[in-house]
Amino acid sequence: MRIKHAPNDVQSMSQDGKAILRSLPNNNLSHIDLMVRESIQNSLDATIDNTPKTIVDFSTGEFESEKLASNFEEIEDVLLERYPGNQRFIAVSDKNTYGLTGDYSSDDIRILNNSNFHKLVFGIGKNQDKDGAGGSWGLGKTSYFRMGVGIVIYYTRIKINDKYEERLIASLIEDPTKEDRILSSNERGIAWWGEYVINEEKISPITDKEQIGKILSLFNLENYKNEETGTSIIIPYLKDLQVGMVEKNSFAFPWEVSMEEDVMMAVQRWYFPRIWNGKYHDELGNSILDCKVNNTSIHPNINFEPIFKYYQELYISALLGKAQSPEIKVEQIKLGTNAMLNQKEPIGYVAFREVSREQLKMTAPENKPSGLAYLGIKDVSKMESDSSKVVAYSRKPGMVVEYSVDGPWSNGDIVLKDGHMLIAFFVPNSNGELASRFKDVKLSTVESYLRSVENSDHAVWEDVPGVSVITRIRNYTNKIIKSAYQSEDDYNNSSVTSSLSRKFGAILMPPKNFGKTSANAKTPGKAIAINSKNRGSDITVVRSNPKNEFEVEVAFKAFIKKESNNRILLQVLSQDQKIDQASWYKSMGDTVKFPFVIKDVMINKINNDQVEKSIFEIEENDMEFKLEEVSATYVDINSNLQEGIEIEGTLNLDIKSNQYLPNIAIRTIQ
């Protein structure tokens, strides 16, 4: 193949290879993640209209450098000297797509800007304009050049007026300031290989089928045939680096030692919403994704990891606005004024649930890694705690944008069962019309706004200055999830628990914003809604009053669900969990005493009626207050009433050790 050097006109303000390679800064995703995200999304965007399935095949393996290098004018000797013998490659090919259509020979920039071939091969930063598209073919494609020495081969077959045309061209992007660059004579670090058909200044792709077939055969790939159209991207001379490593000193998960397994995991991680998902196709009309890695199909019913099976079910639930299993909760996200044209219309739905270690097959005999590991999270402390809250989200194309772990989508007091993690998925109402003010900037739908605020690597949504749609979506999602955990009957430990922090040794004071958040706190003077059908028993710490170094009085408010048996209990806050007395002695034995005890409980009000009695003195019809013994760690409050009740009171606590932090919780006992 003949070479074309990118011109280095000092007045053209053209980027060099170094600037291009730095234009997609993402230190959180591996090379494989970036390549999988970009390539599949571009394939999905190029799918032929009304086609039910997009086929994407990844191939990994080795090729003989001597046979490939001879095709690259001016760099053959350098390649053979530095990379002799067998070298590694990765390729991604799609079918049921249009291929790289468009003109490549015109001198009219308007024509070239509408050419997919030109934008992918020559147009750095040229984005696709297709409505609802996810890929860019702009900055995202730099992920291809960073995986190897900088060489990428593009092969495509397109249909033009009932005839088929094949095209193959190669490109190089490298840092021209490096001493070990491949093309030392090139001042911009950018070049292409093809053939000269029109003149000696404009490079064209190879279009001869047999010549193309010879190059493809070096990678055990074949020409498209019959009525097939599509695109193949081949990255030869892969860097000799640990496949999934983001940082040099980062440890590797089991699947990251094999490129094939790493790709299979990345496909699930970012595209489970669309992989063989017929409900996605039925609802949105877009194609499903049929993906293989070295001829091994990826399918939810065959080889999905457990975390992705649960997440696909969440995605479908949020997409349809209807829970697909009893464990899932689905809620509308409404932003109120200044967001949707129809203020009663939701901007999207969030679906969420808890999953246990057993459900994620983290226990024997499978002993799989933490669910977070499969999401690409390498925070050891979070993986060991098994109590993270993870909210994922995506647009219409079905690529997961981000997994927000214990972040702004799910912060605050959400108490999970031991050994459980919360997983959630937000799906926007893509076709919903935004308020009229957005139309002034040509952003009429939710999908168009979200696409406009998605950064260049599609890894996060960030509002434009002066607009708070994303911030409000996050805040409302967070609020709804927390609200569900404050009122859900299905969880034994369903309460809002309130922590006490130390000040001056054992003297305890409540932290800032202690107890329920302001969004959930009751306003003094307003009627208390105590008959909510879905509300479970809960407790809030109001204040604490240290009496001396070893005793503190804690004021609380509690809601007692109708016809329920409840237990207010003390716990010890540790780094990973909250430990009650039974768990404490199970772990510690009898040598270390539980550090907190309840001396007495005073009830001051019941449904705003003054009481001012110790629970030892209270005799209420259909109510029972019971402290098992003086110096106990819990108190039982049982109700046979037909309505829920509000109680206010104080707990007098003995502090046996100032080395631990106490926590107060309430559980409904079955």
Question: What type of residue is 564?
Answer: S
In this predicted structure, the answer to whether residue 187 has a pLDDT above a threshold of 60 is yes
Q: What is the pLDDT of residues 559-601, one digit of tens each?
A: 888 888 888 888 887 655 678 888 877 766 666 788 888 888 8
Task: Check pLDDT > 70 for residue 383.
Answer: yes
Q: Which of 4-8, 34-38, 476-480, 491-495 is predicted with the least confidence, judged by mean pLDDT?
A: 491-495
% of the chain residues with pLDDT over 90: 45
φ/ψ of 620, rounded to 5, equals: -110, 135
Q: Concatenate the DSSP letters of all residues of 1-21 into one string.
A: -EEEEPP--TTTT---HHHHH
Question: ∠ CA(212), CA(216), CA(218), 5° rounding?
Answer: 125
Q: Which residues of 548-586 are buried (b: 16+ CB within 10 A; e: fewer)?
A: eeebbbbbbbbbbbbebbbbbbbbbbeeeebbbbebbee
Please say if the pLDDT value at position 483 is more than 60. yes
**Centroid of chain to Cα 189:** 35
Q: What is the pLDDT of residue 337?
A: 74
User: Which whole-number Å values give the CA distances from 261 to 280, 308, 317, 399, in the listed order?
Assistant: 26, 15, 29, 19
* CA of residue 397 relative to chain centroid, distance: 15
Q: What is the mean pLDDT of residues 99-120?
A: 89
Q: What is the pLDDT of residue 193?
A: 96
The average pLDDT across 199-206 equals 87
Contact assessment for residue 667 and residue 558, using Cβ atoms and an 8 Å cutoff: no
pLDDT of residue 443: 77
- Spatial CA neighbour of 137 closest among 238, 50, 44: 44
Closest CA to 125 of 102, 142, 105, 109: 142
User: Please, which residues bridge with residue 564 across strands?
Assistant: 639
R_g of the chain computed on alpha carbons: 31
Contacts of 254 (CB under 8 A, 6+ apart): 261, 369
Question: pLDDT over 70 for what percent of the chain?
Answer: 82
Return the H-helix or E-strand segment holding 55: strand 53-64
Give 224-257 pLDDT, tens digit per residue.
Answer: 999 999 999 999 999 865 444 444 445 678 898 8
The answer to whether 190 and 172 are in contact (CB under 8 A) is yes
CA-based nearest residue to 415, from 356, 496, 354:
496
Q: Using 50, 70 and 90 to split pLDDT, how confident is the model at 10?
A: low
Q: How confident is the prediction for the chain on average, in pLDDT?
A: 83
pLDDT exceeds cutoff 60 at 523: no
pTM: 0.71
Tell me, what amino acid is at 205?
P
Better-scored residue on pLDDT, 47 or 107:
47
CA distance linking residue 283 with residue 435, whole number of Å: 24
pLDDT higher than threshold 60 for residue 512? no
**pLDDT at 39 exceeding the cut of 90:** yes
Tokens found for residue 299: 């399918």
pLDDT at residue 70, as a whole number:
96
Which residues fall within 8 angstroms of residue 148, CB to CB, at 6 or more apart?
Answer: 89, 235, 236, 237, 238, 239
User: Using one digit for the tens of pLDDT, what is the confidence trace for 601-641?
Assistant: 888 888 888 888 877 676 555 677 776 554 588 888 888 88
Higher pLDDT, 527 or 174: 174
pLDDT tens string 279-332: 999 999 999 999 999 999 999 999 999 999 999 999 999 999 999 999 999 999
Q: Which of 24-33, 72-81, 101-110 has the highest mean pLDDT?
A: 72-81
Cβ-in-10-Å burial (0-12, 13-18, 19+) of 628 comes to exposed
| Long-range contact set of residues 382-386: C-beta below 8 Å, sequence gap at least 24 | 382/406, 384/576, 385/575, 385/576, 385/577, 386/357, 386/362, 386/419, 386/420, 386/421, 386/576
pLDDT value for 618? 65
Least confident of 115-129, 367-381, 417-431: 115-129
The top-scoring range by mean pLDDT among 16-30, 351-365, 597-611, 615-629 is: 351-365
3-state secondary structure string, 470-493?
Answer: HHHHHHHHHHHHHHHHHHCCCCCC
- Written as one letter, the residue type at 109 is I
The Cα 9–Cα 41 span in angstroms is 34
Average pLDDT of the segment spanning 159-169: 95
Alpha carbons 242 and 259: distance in angstroms, whole number: 9
Q: What is the pLDDT of residue 541?
A: 85
Cβ 143 vs Cβ 24: under 8 Å: yes
pLDDT at 375 over 60: yes
Query: Residue 360 has which token pair?
Result: 């994620």
Better-predicted residue by pLDDT, 511 or 486: 486
Omega before residue 365 within 30° of 0, cis: yes
What are 466's two structure tokens? 């002066």
Average pLDDT of span 417-422? 89
| CA distances to 85, 237, 543, 544 from 64, in Å | 6, 10, 73, 74
